[in-house]
Amino acid sequence: MSTALTNKPSEPTTNKSAQSTPEPLDSGTLEWTEIDAIVGGYHGAPHTVLGMHVWKANAAQNQIVVRAFRPLDKEVYVYDVAGDARYPMRKLHKAGFYELLLPERSAPFAYRLILVDHQDDKHEIEDSYRFPFYLTDFDLHLYGEGNFTQAYTKLGAHFRTITPDVAGQTEQVRGVNFAVWAPNAQRVSVVGPFNSWDNRTHAMSRRSEGGIWEIFVPNLVEWSEYKYSIKSHQLGYEIDKSDPYGFFAEVRPKTASRIWDMQKYEWGDADWVSARPEMQRLDQPMCVYELHLGSWRRVPEDNGFLTYHDLATQVVDYVVEMGYTHIELLPITEHPFDGSWGYQTVGYFAPTSRFGTPDDFKYFVDHCHQRGIGVILDWVPAHFPKDGHGLSFFDGTHLYEHADARQGEHTEWGTKIFNFGRNEVRNFLLSSALFWLKEYHLDGLRVDAVASMLYLDYAREGGDWIPNQYGGRENLAAIDFLRRFNEVVHAETPGALTIAEESTSWPMVTRPTYAGGLGFDLKWNMGWMHDMLSYFEKDPVYRRYHHNQITFSLMYAFSENFLLPFSHDEVVHLKHSMLDKMPGDLWQKFANLRALYAYMYGHPGKKLLFMGGEFGQWREWNEAQSLDWHLLETPQHAQLQQFLKDLNQLYQHEPALHQVDFDWNGFQWIDINDVDNSVVSFARRAADPNELLVFICNFTPKPHLNYRVGLPLGGEYSEILNSDWGQYGGSGVQNSSGVAHADDGGVWADNFAWQSCGFSAAINLPPLGVTILKSKRH
């Protein structure tokens, strides 16, 4: 900085227009190199130049200098708020660099800028460069080392109210603080309609070597669009990006972020949140309704989306009536392409604006909780799309992804893979996870595509991947990230669940990290799902040759904490709907599906079913259309729906079906050897082993009367559910009155050892049906 004063001090004017700027252009109190850097957009620290500063004229004298860069304005004045005086600023550079030197002032004071544009219109604004930074040095340190796990509290766009500590400042100033990570940028500016999308006006300052840029822009309001204009050190690369930490976005196909105040919503779910650690223990019932908000139901008139408010009422009423405990949302994180179902995310901190605002989504979650329904989000940390406004090549370099396509490109999905070994990327993803759990009170995260994260050679041919440092195929950085993710989530949000969609035999997915596991609470049992669908798709005459498909899952059922999924992935891409997968005529299709669901609810593990499966949707799921609710006008579909409703109620009511899901104390095979008749039987036990249910499953269309089956306890049993009851569209082969949950007797155990039990009884087995008996000894 120059020590020579080359411009004359300005004289104050009070409520008068300014005179024209002095004629000679000089560098004022600066070197030309600094002015050129500001004007050229490569300074990097404009806060050290622009705004109000104490300038040391000589060893004994401090003077006040104010500088501004206003390329769109003809004249600029400094307005002394307390003194009600205006000072004209000198234009030192034709591009719009202005300076005011006040030798009679030695201490900073409250001021505003008065701008006169080329149409001679005047505007009074607060100067962004007179306000202190929001991020502390400690924040920057944590971010750099990968431990700023709630970075969303500082990065992105945040409303702040500031009272600058300067003379004459009596009013608070409200505005928005912007912060973004772009370490390889030469210049980052925030742009929007508030500055005519001009990237010269609000240039941000680089706060550290780690590459976080920051600025405060006063007097902005909610809904204002904005982007970050990034000029890279890479020659010629300049682009506008949406905010990686943005809380709200324009409706696609528009791509700007929007400002939103995340603190104003008033929650009403305190009772739910405080009780959640108890309600979501693994010995509690958990039957999940998987849901795509955009296609569960549409507005009939124009096939438009329902809003979050509409869905809060309609979905929750339905889910409560059906007896589900949770809903799992396909990704509602902001995404540009409807056909990705949300799995190609660009907004890791923004609920999609297709259905409303962030507060509207909070209302949706709040309403779920107040009605006793938990909410799980499908979260996608494995990969992200290449859309130009998103994370890809963010600052002119491969910032969030690997540079080498063998590590950074997911060729099967056409997406980018996160660089899990980079501290700042880990911050970003961990912050996203905590953001949804803390800010939106979500009850769990289902982590998508975990297998693609664990293996470096996932969906790759030989030579198309890079081994780890030990020559193996395991992605060590991703493994470390997943463990850290689970540790952070469980420490910061007690009671929240983490669920892995992991399709391989990777060991200890749901075992604690301190024992060498990944630390998830639950894992989708993809092996069980594939075996069961393969078995039930077969004509019953051939099932005897594939009996092992319905029994094999118990060989590994307790190696993990499993959730049994029939998800959206099973009803798309020519796989057929759940009902249409079933063989046989119309009656047999419905009977098979009822038997499959009954077996699912008897099998150890938590439950998940995708929307439409509960009433027998015929066609495959299409994200652009509503479910076919008119099918419920047909008796068979309404009866299937009633069966699922009763099954859910039975599941929640009977501890034997959920208390001991993850070890052998809760399950006992009675008989698996009747291969020729495709019959299996087993018992489920509660924590009290005398509280038990017996399942007898006949997977052929042939009924068996007086079929002897072993029973663990003597005495009387009630048939509490039978998938063949007439009320469900069955043939009525039963052992009771046919009323769900009725305590009406029907089966007495003989003191006659049979199969693996000390007692037995002769019962009627319905065709393609499952009979559930409950001992009345408890």
Give the whole-angstrom CA distance, residue 88 versus residue 127.
Answer: 15
What is the Cβ-side half-sphere exposure of residue 643, based on CA atoms within 13 angstroms? 35
Task: Determine the pLDDT at residue 359.
Answer: 98
Closest CA to 773 of 705, 681, 700, 704: 681
Q: Which helix (H) or strand (E) element contains residue 138?
A: helix 137-145
Closest residue by Cα to residue 705 from 734, 726, 676, 679:
734
Kindly tell me if the per-residue pLDDT of 101 is higher than 90: yes
Task: Give per-residue pLDDT as tens, 143-178.
Answer: 999 999 999 999 999 999 998 777 767 788 999 999
pLDDT tens for 567-624 read 999 999 999 999 999 999 999 999 999 999 999 999 999 999 999 999 999 999 999 9
- Average pLDDT, stretch 730-746? 72
- How much is the average pLDDT of 641-645? 98
**pLDDT confidence band for 726 (50 / 70 / 90):** very high
Which amino acid, 616?
A: G
Please, how many CA atoms are within 13 Å of residue 544, restricted to the half-sphere of its CB?
7
Q: Which of 214, 360, 424, 501 is catalytic?
A: 501
> Which helix (DSSP H) or strand (DSSP E) does residue 610 occupy?
strand 606-610
* Bridge partner list, 298: 305
Q: Which of 333, 293, 513, 326 is nearest to 432 (CA)?
A: 333
User: What does pTM read for this prediction?
Assistant: 0.92
Confidence at residue 523, expressed as pLDDT on a 0 to 100 scale: 98
pLDDT in tens, 471-480: 999 999 999 9
pLDDT at 231: 95
| CA neighbor of 712 nearest in space, from 659, 663, 764, 656 | 656
| pLDDT of 3 | 33
CA angle 426, 332, 150 (to 5 degrees): 30
Q: How confident is the model at residue 323 (pLDDT cuts 50, 70, 90)?
A: very high
448 labelled catalytic: yes
Are 253 and 242 spatial neighbours (Cβ–Cβ below 8 Å)?
Answer: no
Closest by CA to 370, choosing from 278, 271, 280, is 271
Q: What does the longest C-alpha to C-alpha distance in the chain come to?
A: 113
What's the CA gap between 749 and 762, in Å, rounded? 8
The residue-averaged pLDDT of 316-337 equals: 97
Q: Phi and psi dihedrals of 135, rounded to 5?
A: -75, 135
Q: Would residue 342 be called left, alpha or beta, if left means φ above 0 and alpha means ψ between -120 and 50 degrees?
A: left
Tally Cβ neighbours within 10 Å of residue 59: 6
Rounded Cα distance, 721 and 717, in Å: 12
Q: Backbone dihedral region of 343: left (phi > 0), alpha (psi from -120 to 50 degrees) or beta?
A: alpha
Let me know the angle formed at the C-alpha of 453 by 426 and 390, rounded to the nearest 5 degrees: 55
What are the backbone dihedrals phi and psi of residue 177, each rounded to the nearest 5 degrees, phi first?
Answer: -95, 130
In this prediction, residue 78 carries a pLDDT of 96
C-alpha to C-alpha distance for 289 and 283, rounded to whole angstroms: 19
Which of 605-623 are b and which e, b meaning 16 or more Cβ less than 10 Å from the residue's Cβ? bbbbbbbbbbbbbeeebee
Give, for 693, the enclosing helix (H) or strand (E).
Answer: strand 692-698
Which two structure tokens, joined as six digits, stand for 146? 């990968």
Active-site choice (359, 448, 502, 654): 448
> Quick check: 666 and 685 in contact, CB under 8 A?
yes
Which residues lie closer than 8 Å to 458 by C-beta, 6 or more apart?
A: 451, 452
Is residue 388 over pLDDT 90?
yes
Q: Over 70: is that where the pLDDT of 509 sits?
A: yes
Taking 50 as the threshold, does the pLDDT of residue 282 lie above it? yes
58 pLDDT more than 80: no
What is the band of 236 on the pLDDT scale with cuts at 50, 70, 90? confident
Contacts of 339 (CB under 8 A, 6+ apart): 623
Helix (H) or strand (E) holding 142: helix 137-145
For 527, 545, 728, the CA distances from 540, given in Å and listed in that order, are 21, 10, 21
In the prediction, which pLDDT does 253 show?
A: 95
The answer to whether the beta carbons of residues 491 and 543 sit under 8 Å apart is: no
Which residues have C-beta within 8 Å of that of residue 390, sequence separation ≥ 6?
A: 241, 242, 336, 346, 384
Pairing of strands 122-125, 111-117: antiparallel
Check pLDDT > 80 for residue 678. yes
Where does the pLDDT of residue 261 fall: very low under 50, low under 70, confident under 90, or very high at 90 and above? very high
Give backbone dihedrals phi and psi of 161, rounded to 5 degrees, phi first.
-120, 120
Residue 729 φ/ψ region, left for φ over 0, alpha for ψ in the -120 to 50 degree band, beta for the rest: left
501 is catalytic: yes
What distances in angstroms separate CA 87 from CA 48, 120, 201, 239, one per listed residue? 21, 17, 21, 37
Q: Is 226 within 8 Å of 177 (Cβ atoms)?
A: no
| Collapsed DSSP state (helix, strand, coil) of residue 128 | helix
